[in-house]
Amino acid sequence: MPPMHRAKAAPARSGLTAFEREVIEHFVEISRALGQPRSLAEIYGLLFISPRPLAMDDLIERLQISKGSASQGLRFLREIGAVRPVELDGDRRVHYEAVAELRRLAGRFLSDQLAPRVAGNERRLARLAERVGELPETHRKHAEARLTMLQSWHRNTRRILPLVIKLLGD
């Protein structure tokens, strides 16, 4: 029987309520499915549930993450439109709040993260087409059928993705 895979336990988070920890873990699960780092989900999750905007040092303290993780995470989340900076009277620090418009978030993620990767796959598919001929005859027919399938998926994705992005309003 294969060994059981054990997920890393989330680090202890002092200063977070049980409710906040659960919300953050909800976003961590989603980020895993999207292949994004845990720290992005933690930052977004805390900002999402926070009743007020938070400064970067608040995130560092409450999530117990490094300044580098917080800085990179906030930069990425700003780039995809998931968080926005907010100025608070009497505080010179930049504060952040979560953007909770799912359509906009999904559209930005698709256009900024998925679309460039789909476009980059054309070269890989061309290389695969060249290499099919190098396979032994016994494997070539199956490989050609799978390559045809990948090319079809790619064409359909290239055709549909811009429509989905436009529909989501990015």
Q: Are 125 and 154 in contact (CB under 8 A)?
A: yes
Residue 64 and residue 109 in one domain? no
The sign of the dihedral angle between the CA atoms of 67, 73, 76, 81 is negative
Residue 136 and residue 164 in one domain? yes
Residue 65 and residue 119 in one domain? no
**For residue 38, what are the contacts with CB-CB under 8 A and spacing of at least 6?**
28, 31, 32
Q: Are 105 and 80 in contact (CB under 8 A)?
A: yes
* Domain range enclosing 112: 102-168
Please state, in angstroms and rounded to a whole number, the distance separating the CA atoms of residues 128 and 134.
Answer: 10
pTM of the model: 0.66
Encode the chain (170 residues) as per-residue pLDDT tens digits: 444 433 343 444 558 999 999 999 999 998 888 788 999 999 999 999 999 999 999 999 999 999 999 999 999 999 888 899 999 888 899 999 999 876 777 777 778 777 888 887 888 888 899 999 898 989 889 989 999 998 998 888 888 888 887 877 65
Residue 86 and residue 24 in one domain? yes
Residue 25 and residue 83 in one domain? yes
